Amino acid sequence: MTDHTPTRVGHGFDLHRLEPGLRLIVGGVHIEHDHGCAAHSDGDVVYHAVVDAVLGALGQDDIGQLFPDNDPKWKGADSRIFMEEATRRMRAAGYRVGNLDVTVVLQRPKLSPHKAAIKQNLATLLGCDLSRVNIKGKTHERVDAIGEGRAIGCHVVVLIEKSG
């Protein structure tokens, strides 16, 4: 049975602890900071949440099922690989990005200086126009692990639409 649904929506979420001495990669951008993501791969919360949103819209397995954190193959992996696979699956199913809305939740460092580069990375990897990608930075007003600078989170909503 072929799915002829013209549009589908997916939501993605990711959260990582921030620890001293690790690299902070957000949306494919290395951001200078005294803390970075504790993760099996490079810990890119934006790419991980986008992958889950796209896969969710397609009704497919999530990132943890496709790239399990107990598989040594993915140790330290560049999350670009995960994005490329999600995009490949989206295209194979006959969809393209209608729009992508990304909210990064991080107390510090500020996301503003990096938003344009992150947006460009996402548009390039998803094969869509920049106008279809939005990225916002929010803080948790010094409340909880994110607000205390001990974690970073990301929420993503994606609308995919039938190609052609």
* pTM assigned to the model: 0.95
Residues 6+ apart with CB under 8 A from 64: none
Q: Pairing state of beta strands 7-20 and 35-37?
A: antiparallel
Q: Which residues pair with 9 in a beta bridge?
A: 159
Where do the DSSP E strands lie in the chain? Answer: 7-20, 24-26, 29-31, 35-37, 95-105, 133-138, 151-162
Predicted local distance difference test score (pLDDT) of residue 155: 98
1 pLDDT tier (thresholds 50, 70, 90): very low
For residues 64, 106, 19, 142, the Cα torsion angle rounded to the nearest 10 degrees is -130
Query: Any idea where the domains of the chain sit in the sequence?
Result: 7-162
Q: Is 143 left (phi over 0), alpha (psi -120 to 50) or beta?
A: beta
Q: Which residue has the higher pLDDT, 121 or 71?
A: 121
Q: Give the angle 160-163-164 at the CA atoms, nearest 5°.
A: 150
Q: What digits encode the pLDDT tens for the residues 116-139?
A: 999 999 999 999 999 999 999 999
Q: What digits encode the pLDDT tens for the residues 33-57?
A: 999 999 989 999 999 999 999 999 9
CATH superfamily membership of 7-162: 2-C-methyl-D-erythritol 2,4-cyclodiphosphate synthase (3.30.1330.50)
Predicted local distance difference test score (pLDDT) of residue 3: 67
Residue 58 has pLDDT above 60, yes or no: yes
Looking at every residue in the chain, the average pLDDT score rounds to: 94
Helix (H) or strand (E) holding 131: none
Q: Report the alpha-carbon distance of residue 74 to residue 69 in Å, rounded.
A: 7
**Structure-token match 């959260």, residue found:** 15
